[in-house]
């Protein structure tokens, strides 16, 4: 490597510190000693219940439940819709392992739907499998923050009688034609893991307007008949027909994590604007790079640019590996979704051997040339421009 070449010194996994408001709220919980969500005084609204009210308001949902992780949220949603052993569940072929993992953990079978070159679910393949696969549920993954045409998707789902669970781990704060991500399907699931749009280390949020589905999820999460201590919840009579027949699969959020998260809801709009600026700076810097395809963003989509993807169509594996290594030597960390072996977060459907092997030629073609990088808010627009320059130079050298 030429010592005169520009090197980026930023850290792709370094998040911003928790705000002073979050730290103060967390300290108050620690000083109280009452970390469990149901350990509250009569009439008191605990931090978890308050978070659920605030997040329901943020998304426009009637009901909200805070849980231990985004992965738990997915499994809880599937259970609430009655998914069990032997059932087939449609989901994206391009996603992260917790999505098919949540399906397989219930003894159900993931049926993968192809991905397009715009990194969204292939709606033509979905239309076919919605009527041929024998599935009653679609777990839609808005992978890496890319929203498909949600109007058409819901038309397909409604025509086929599919119930839609939205995995919004990468789209908290995003929208399609003004409707927030997570609000098209019957249930929306979000993650608050460190690398997501709100950070509590681990955590998840579930929203729904369906009273029966939400009551089931509250019971599943381990409410111990204390569902009256929730606030963003269906009325008590909804629980009466469910409380004796719904198993406890404990996955509650605690007051400490909720206290850290609540101030972050108000901070989201400003953070989304900063992510968009970073994304657009990187996009602009790569728009003229030969052989590199930037993913187009539809006008109907309001996205959150917390990560960036691009395609290198037709590149052979050795060439891509060389590019990844050269960029790493200059401080730019790329993840490749085409590797034969899973690496960190970049596994693909062939790695998920708990699901039946499936023929997905279009997805395989897309993933073979797909690269990905994080855009933490510890970066500034000048950092994004530096990253773009390095990528552009190295692609041109290849």
Whether 64 and 203 share a structural domain = yes
Q: Is residue 1 pLDDT above 60, yes or no? A: no
Burial state string for 168-193 with b = 16 or more CB within 10 A and e = fewer than 16? bbbbbbbbbeebbbbbbbbbbbbbbb
Q: Is residue 6 part of a domain?
A: no
Q: Is residue 183 part of a domain?
A: yes
Q: What is the CATH number of the domain that holds 307?
A: 3.90.1150.10
- For range 218-226, the mean pLDDT: 96
- For range 317-332, the mean pLDDT: 98
Give the per-residue pLDDT at 51: 98
Domain end, chosen from 235, 263, 291, is at 263
Domain end, chosen from 227, 243, 263, is at 263
Q: Is residue 108 part of a domain?
A: yes
Q: What is the CATH number of the domain that holds 77?
A: 3.40.640.10
- What is the gyration radius of the CA atoms in the chain, in angstroms? 21
Specify burial of residue 249 (Cβ count, 10 A radius: 0-12, 13-18, 19+): middle
Whether 226 and 294 share a structural domain = no
Whether 239 and 360 share a structural domain = no
Q: Is residue 346 part of a domain?
A: yes
- Mean pLDDT score of the chain, rounded to an integer? 97
Question: Which tens digits make up the pLDDT trace of 184-208?
Answer: 999 999 999 999 999 999 999 999 9
Q: Is residue 2 part of a domain?
A: no
Q: Is residue 392 pLDDT above 60, yes or no? A: yes
Percent of the chain with pLDDT over 90: 96
Whether 86 and 223 share a structural domain = yes
Q: How many domains does the chain have?
A: 2
Domain carrying residue 216: 20-263
Domain end, chosen from 194, 229, 263, is at 263
Give the per-residue pLDDT at 336: 97
Among 59, 39, 65, CA closest to 220: 65
Whether 321 and 253 share a structural domain = no
Q: Is residue 10 part of a domain?
A: no
Among 70, 75, 25, CA closest to 51: 25
Q: Is residue 4 part of a domain?
A: no
Question: Which tens digits make up the pLDDT trace of 348-386?
Answer: 999 999 999 999 999 999 999 999 999 999 999 999 999
Q: pLDDT category, 345, cuts 50, 70, 90?
A: confident
Whether 102 and 248 share a structural domain = yes
Whether 250 and 273 share a structural domain = no
Whether 281 and 359 share a structural domain = yes
Give the per-residue pLDDT at 3: 63
Q: Range with the lowest mean pLDDT among 215-224, 241-250, 336-345?
A: 336-345
Give the per-residue pLDDT at 244: 96
Give the per-residue pLDDT at 113: 98
Give the per-residue pLDDT at 2: 63
Whether 231 and 86 share a structural domain = yes
Question: Which tens digits make up the pLDDT trace of 94-121?
Answer: 999 999 999 999 999 999 999 999 999 9
Question: Which tens digits make up the pLDDT trace of 234-280?
Answer: 999 999 989 999 999 999 999 999 999 999 999 999 999 999 999 99
Whether 235 and 254 share a structural domain = yes
Give the per-residue pLDDT at 344: 85
Q: Is residue 166 pLDDT above 90, yes or no? A: yes
- For range 26-41, the mean pLDDT: 96
Percent of the chain with pLDDT over 70: 99
Q: Is residue 322 part of a domain?
A: yes
Whether 56 and 199 share a structural domain = yes
Whether 168 and 82 share a structural domain = yes
Give the per-residue pLDDT at 42: 86
- For range 60-79, the mean pLDDT: 98
Give the per-residue pLDDT at 312: 98
91 close to 109: Cβ distance less than 8 angstroms: no
Give the per-residue pLDDT at 283: 98
């Amino acid at each position: 490597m030429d010592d005169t070449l520009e090197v980026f010194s930023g850290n792709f996994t370094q998040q911003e510190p928790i705000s002073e408001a979050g730290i103060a709220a967390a300290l108050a919980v620690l000083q109280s000693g009452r970390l469990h969500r149901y350990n509250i005084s009569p009439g008191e609204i605990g931090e978890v219940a308050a978070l659920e009210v605030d997040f329901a308001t943020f998304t426009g949902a009637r009901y909200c439940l805070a849980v231990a992780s985004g992965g738990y949220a997915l499994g809880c949603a599937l259970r609430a819709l009655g998914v069990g052993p032997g059932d087939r569940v449609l989901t994206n072929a391009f996603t992260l392992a917790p999505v098919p993992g949540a399906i397989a953990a219930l003894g159900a079978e993931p049926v993968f739907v192809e991905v397009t070159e715009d990194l969204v679910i292939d709606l033509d393949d979905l239309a076919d499998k919605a009527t041929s696969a024998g599935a009653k549920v679609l777990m839609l993954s808005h992978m890496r923050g890319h929203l498909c045409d949600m109007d058409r998707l819901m038309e397909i789902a409604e025509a086929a009688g599919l119930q839609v669970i939205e995995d919004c781990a990468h789209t908290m704060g995003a929208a399609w034609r003004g409707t927030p991500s997570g609000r098209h399907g019957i249930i929306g699931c979000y993650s608050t893991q460190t690398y997501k749009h709100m950070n509590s280390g681990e955590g998840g949020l579930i929203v729904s307007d369906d009273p029966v589905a939400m009551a089931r999820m509250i019971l599943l999460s381990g409410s111990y008949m204390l569902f009256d201590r929730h606030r963003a919840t269906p009325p008590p009579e909804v629980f009466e027909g469910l409380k004796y027949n719904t198993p406890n699969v404990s996955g509650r959020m605690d007051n400490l994590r909720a206290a850290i998260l609540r101030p972050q809801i108000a901070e989201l709009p400003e953070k989304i604007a900063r992510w968009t600026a970073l994304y657009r700076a990187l996009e602009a810097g790569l728009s003229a790079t030969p052989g590199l395809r930037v993913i187009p963003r539809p006008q109907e989509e309001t996205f959150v640019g917390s990560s960036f993807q691009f395609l290198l169509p037709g590149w052979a594996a050795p060439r891509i590996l060389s590019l990844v290594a050269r960029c790493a030597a200059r401080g730019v960390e790329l993840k490749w979704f085409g590797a034969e072996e899973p690496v960190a977060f970049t596994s693909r459907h062939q790695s998920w051997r708990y699901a039946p092997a499936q023929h997905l030629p279009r997805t395989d073609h897309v993933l073979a040339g797909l690269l990905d990088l994080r855009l933490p808010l510890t970066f500034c627009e000048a950092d994004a421009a530096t990253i773009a320059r390095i990528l552009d130079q190295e692609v041109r050298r290849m």
